[in-house]
Every structure is written in structure tokens, then in C-alpha cells.
Amino acid sequence: MYHVVAYQVADTINIKQCKEQLPWQLLFQDSDELYFKKSDDQFLYIFHYGMVSFFNMSSQEIDLVLQDIKPFFRNAISEKHAEDIQVEIVPNTLKVTFEKVILPTLSSEMVRLVMLNASQSVALNNYSEITENLLIETNEHTLFLEKKGKLDISGNKLKRFIGKILNIKNKISENLYIFDSPDITWEDEQLNKLNLDLKQTFDLKDRYHLIHDRIDIIKENLELFKDIMDHKESSKLEWIIIILILVEVVDLFIAKLFF
């Protein structure tokens, strides 16, 4: 029995520097991913968006690998999100369950697909937690608006909040490939089946949609807040103009009255 363990270890990992300095056999690479063979039955998958996945490594081995790649982290995460799944090798059998994945052979490409989907599952857990907290914070402002008839958030804070939401949405779109099948699955029916079964078992697409739905709800609320704030500022400006006109009229009236 083997294990795949995936961790969110940082905001991002410098893929170029990892490629240049890590000593293991490189099986696959692109601008966002590096897939290494550490030994005959050990693999390592590194993703630009801060994910690292390990196949058949002990806790001590994982700690040593993390020390090797830690210099390439940007904003390391101390409390790691993780996903752990068992992998069993049974000849002529390909099956994905909630408890484990059964592979017909110890194929590096099949292992890669398991590690890829496990990593995306961890990333989705992370983004799900972030968006849930943001939605709770947004709901607090809407409840205040309902009770008091006004906003409890300043214009500058609102702009930063909107920027935070947009950045999260951009990160999700850039870093997760939930709807993209890896090239290796295009010409291999068995690999394609494994990839689709993994996505279904990890419930990746529904979780991805849920996160985007939350972001859309938050954006809709923030746009409403912005409209209310713009209207408030516009009304304030109108009153300032009216007061200035009144002052000018009064000043003109006094000038004509006494001179």
C-alpha cells in the first residue's frame, strides 16, 4: 500500500529556481509544475500555486524534501492544508473510491494524475475556507445595512475588500485546472478514465463552482455597497454645492444691502 500526501505550503513556489537547483529526475515540467522521480517508487510534484505532493514518502522524508524546497517559497504557510489518499497496486484493476485508488501498475503517469487531483483538492479546501470567511464578513455588513439603514465600512476599506476578492478570483482562475484534462489523458483511454474518476471522487467541479458562486455573491454585495457609497458621496457633494451657492447669494445680498 502506498500513500499520496498533498500540502499547501506557501502562497507560491518559484518553479524556475526549483528546476535549476533540485537534484531529482525531472519527468514533466511546464511554467507552473514540476514532476520529479525521487526513486523507483517515490515521486514529488511541485506546483507554482504553493502546492507540493508526495508519493510513498515517510514523514521524515517529506520534512527533508520540504527543507530542500523551502528557499523557493513565497509566504510560507505554517498551518498546512493537506489531503491524504491510499494507492494500491492490483494487476488489471483500475478503481477510484473515497478510501483509496487502485491502479493496475505503478505507472508514473497514473501516479501523477492522483497527485495532481489530490493537490487541487487541497487548493480548493484552502480557497473554500477563504471565501467562506469573506462571505461571513460580507454578511455582517449587509446585516448592519438592514438594521441601521447605512454602511459600517469606509470607502477606502471597501476598495481594499473589492481588490482582495478580485485577487482571489484571479488566483483560482490562474492556478486551478479543474476543467482542463492533462495532455497525457488525450490519447490514453485508461488515463482519461482515471482522471475523470478522480475528479468525480474528489468532487472537484462542484466545489470549484461553489467557490465561484460565493465570490459572485460577495462581488454583487460589494458592488451594491459601492453604489450606495457613491450615491452618498454624490449627495454630499450636491449639498456642498448648494451651501456654496447660498453663501454666495447671501454674500451678494449683503453687499447690495450695505453698499
pLDDT tens by residue, 160-215: 888 888 888 888 877 777 667 788 888 889 999 999 999 999 999 899 899 989 98
Domain-wise residue ranges, the chain? 2-219
How many residues are listed for the chain in this entry?
A: 259
pLDDT tens by residue, 114-141: 999 999 999 999 889 989 998 998 888 8
Q: Residue 123, Cβ neighbours under 10 Å: how many?
A: 25
Distance CA 32, CA 240 (A): 53
Instruction: Tell me the DSSP string of 189-246.
Output: HHHHHHHHHHHHHHTHHHHHHHHHHHHHHHHHHHHHHHHHHHHHHHHHHHHHHHHHHH
Q: Residue 72, Cβ neighbours under 10 Å: how many?
A: 19
**Strand 42-47 versus strand 73-89 pairing type:** unpaired
Predicted TM-score (pTM) of this structure: 0.83
